[in-house]
A and B are shown apart, each in its own frame.
Chain A
Amino acid sequence: NAGVTQTPKFQVLKTGQSMTLQCAQDMNHNSMYWYRQDPGMGLRLIYYSASEGTTDKGEVPNGYNVSRLNKREFSLRLESAAPSQTSVYFCASSEAPGGRYEQYFGPGTRLTVT
């Protein structure tokens, strides 16, 4: 039981390049999330998927797209990377959205855009 896994762990991109961050969970959770963590700002929600087949914008969606590929997988795509997207990205999952349901986090991806 691996929980939430993310690939890659580290990535360096040049401005304008694209990439996809992969996330998978093996807990049969319905809801999945993408956050970014910047110094002094805590974690901010980029996109979330309350259930398979649905996605919604979070607090900072600009410059990102997501795909809920199936119940297990939720990917985050940067179409044209910018230095402002340098951050640590976390994927998380929960049994259901909101309320009492604990979110389980992956180990994070450190992305640097030069």
Chain B
Amino acid sequence: AQTVTQSQPEMSVQEAETVTLSCTYDTSESDYYLFWYKQPPSRQMILVIRQEAYKQQNATENRFSVNFQKAAKSFSLKISDSQLGDAAMYFCAHNDYKLSFGAGTTVTVRA
């Protein structure tokens, strides 16, 4: 069974500062993908970033980057230069055949 754990139910960040969200997962597979999804108050699920387990290089998408530690089964998301529009719930997800989601982290951005 796959499990994804997000240990931080809530995080708060000052506008323009950096925040890091933690995620650990459990899998017996060697090839898989990891995702971070954003869910703003509108409820729409939006893909933020993806990482393939075979790739050593950490994925980046503009102000969003990950720190992927395969041996530790850790996949954290860093949001740099935080903006008010980054306020949302963020879900870590693991995908080898089906997506398994963590419980989510609510990010609040202070002006």
Do chains A and B stick together as partners?
yes
Report B-chain residues with C-beta under 8 Å of the C-beta of A108. 43-44
Task: Contact check, B101 vs A43: say whether CB atoms are below 8 A apart.
Answer: yes
A58 located at the interface, meaning its Cβ lies under 8 Å from any Cβ of chain B in the complex:
yes
Task: Contact check, A98 vs B45: say whether CB atoms are below 8 A apart.
Answer: no
B-side interface residues, number (CB < 8 Å): 25
Q: How far is the CA of A26 from the CA of B94 in the complex (A)?
A: 25
A67 located at the interface, meaning its Cβ lies under 8 Å from any Cβ of chain B in the complex:
no
A102 located at the interface, meaning its Cβ lies under 8 Å from any Cβ of chain B in the complex:
yes
Write out, one digit per residue, whether chain B residues 15-44 have a CB within 8 A of any chain A CB (1) or not (0).
Answer: 000000000000000011101000000111
Cβ-defined partner of A99 (8 Å) among B33, B91, B101 = B33
B86 located at the interface, meaning its Cβ lies under 8 Å from any Cβ of chain A in the complex:
no
Task: Contact check, A42 vs B104: say whether CB atoms are below 8 A apart.
Answer: yes
Residues of A at under 8 Å CB distance from B? Answer: 33, 40-45, 48, 58, 88, 90, 92, 97-100, 102-103, 105, 107-108
Residues of B at under 8 Å CB distance from A? Answer: 4, 6, 9, 31-33, 35, 42-45, 47, 50, 52, 91, 95-104
Contact sample, A vs B, 28 pairs, CB 8 Å cutoff: A33-B98, A40-B9, A40-B103, A40-B104, A41-B103, A42-B6, A42-B91, A42-B101, A42-B102, A42-B103, A43-B45, A43-B101, A44-B101, A45-B99, A45-B100, A88-B43, A97-B97, A98-B95, A98-B96, A98-B97, A99-B31, A99-B97, A100-B33, A100-B52, A102-B35, A102-B47, A107-B43, A108-B43
